[in-house]
Each structure stands twice: as structure tokens, then as C-alpha cells.
């Protein structure tokens, strides 16, 4: 186990999958036969035969809203050595981004994934930039070999929740 992954565990970081608002999750340029669910959802992402795959070119734009405010500590993105993601840009709380405007905004953080990362080593983000995250946009700009298809086998987001009120869980008080 690497020092970074051991540090993530020591700081009580958890897999944030339980806090994903699945009704709002989107992925632009995904191959319909190899969608985001394969890399993000529990059970699917552990299956070596399933993966997320880009369609028209190597880029992918993933939008993940959360059911409550989270603090993002690190992420894990597994993929094959040649077609796995290389340059990954993260945007906190940026909604409605598309390929036409993704370069208009500075990323909250960016990563160039190594082969160690693609095999399962988490990448630690600039924690101070991800303290109050309601949504996360992940832009996969290119892949390791420069080809037209990017494949992602597994995406895991590690962090903690911020103690707030879940607005979706509130019920309207009826007037009597």
C-alpha cells in the first residue's frame, strides 16, 4: 500500500458513492454500450469486463452531483495502460459544462495520471479547493497513447461529508 493511500484511510476518508445524486449524473461522449455506470456504480466497477468508453473521440466529460455537500480528498481512476485516461481536469461546483466551454474555466485541480494511478493508486487533489463540493465535473482530456478511444474501468471518489441539511429530504409542512 502506498503512503498516499494509507494517508487517505487514516484521515477517515470514505468512498463517496453513497452520496452521488444518480438522477443528475451525466457523461458526454460516452459509448452507449460502455456507459459511465460501468465505471462508477458499485458492483459494475469491480467487473473487469465492464468499462466506460469514449465514442466520437478520446475526450469524456462527466458530471456528478451529490445529495449533500462533500469534501473531496482524492480520486482513483483505473484504466488500461494504452487507452486509459491521461490528463484529467476537475471542476468543483461548475454546472452545465460542455466541450465547447470546458476550456473557458480554470480547473479546480488537474492531474496527469501515471501507470501507477491507472493500476489503482489514488491521486490526492488540492484539498483546499474541494472543501464545499455540491457537484464535480471531470474532464478527461486525452489518453495515454493519444488514440481516439479512452477507456475507464473504475472511478472512486474519496472524501468526507460536510454536516449540512439534506434539502431533498425535507418535507413541506402542511398548513392546518
**Per-residue pLDDT averaged across 17-46, rounded?**
96
Q: What's this model's pTM, rounded to 2 decimal places?
A: 0.86
- Asked if residue 169 is part of any domain, the answer here is no
**Cβ-proximal residues to 30 (8 Å cutoff; 6+ apart), any chain:** 36, 52, 53, 54, 55, 60
- Nearest alpha carbon to residue 82 among 144, 11, 31, 32: 144
Domain that residue 54 falls in: 14-161
On the question of pLDDT at 10 being above 50, the answer is: no
Asked if the structure places residue 82 within a domain, the reply is yes
pLDDT, tens digit, 9 for 90 and up, residues 63-75: 999 999 999 999 9
Confidence of residue 8 (pLDDT cuts 50, 70, 90): very low
On whether residue 71 sits in a domain, the answer given is yes
119 in Cβ contact with 77 (< 8 Å): no
Please indicate, yes or no, if residue 172 is contained in any of the structural domains.
Answer: no
Provide the percentage of residues in the chain whose pLDDT is more than 70. 86
In a domain, 78, yes or no: yes
Mean of pLDDT values over 127-135: 96
What is residue 49's DSSP assignment? T
Q: Is 87 among the domain residues?
A: yes
Domain membership of residue 156 (yes or no) is yes
Domain count, the chain: 1
Confidence category of residue 170, pLDDT binned at 50, 70, 90: low
CA proximity to 91, closest of 39, 141, 42: 141
CATH number of residue 112's parent domain: 2.60.120.470
Task: Give the pLDDT band (50/70/90) at residue 176.
Answer: low
The arithmetic mean of pLDDT across residues 49-55, rounded, is 96
Question: Is residue 49 assigned to a domain?
Answer: yes
Banded pLDDT at 12 (limits 50, 70, 90): confident
Helix (H, G, I), strand (E, B) or coil at 106: coil
Amino acid at each position: 500500500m502506498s503512503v498516499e493511500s494509507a494517508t487517505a484511510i487514516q484521515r477517515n476518508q470514505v468512498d463517496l458513492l453513497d452520496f452521488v445524486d444518480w438522477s443528475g449524473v451525466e457523461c458526454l461522449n460516452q459509448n452507449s454500450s460502455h456507459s459511465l455506470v460501468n465505471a462508477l456504480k458499485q458492483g459494475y466497477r469491480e467487473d473487469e469486463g465492464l468499462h466506460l468508453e469514449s465514442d466520437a473521440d478520446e475526450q469524456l466529460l462527466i458530471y456528478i452531483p451529490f445529495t449533500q455537500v462533500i469534501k473531496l480528498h482524492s480520486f482513483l481512476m483505473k484504466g488500461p495502460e494504452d487507452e486509459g485516461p491521461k490528463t484529467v481536469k476537475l471542476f468543483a461546483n461548475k454546472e452545465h459544462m460542455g466541450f465547447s466551454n470546458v476550456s473557458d474555466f480554470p480547473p479546480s485541480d488537474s492531474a496527469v495520471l501515471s501507470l501507477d494511478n491507472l493500476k489503482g493508486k489514488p491521486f490526492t487533489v488540492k484539498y483546499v479547493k474541494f472543501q464545499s463540493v455540491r457537484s464535480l465535473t471531470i474532464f478527461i482530456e486525452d489518453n495515454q497513447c493519444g488514440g481516439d478511444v479512452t477507456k475507464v474501468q473504475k472511478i472512486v471518489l474519496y472524501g468526507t461529508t460536510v454536516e449540512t441539511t439534506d434539502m431533498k429530504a425535507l418535507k413541506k409542512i402542511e398548513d392546518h
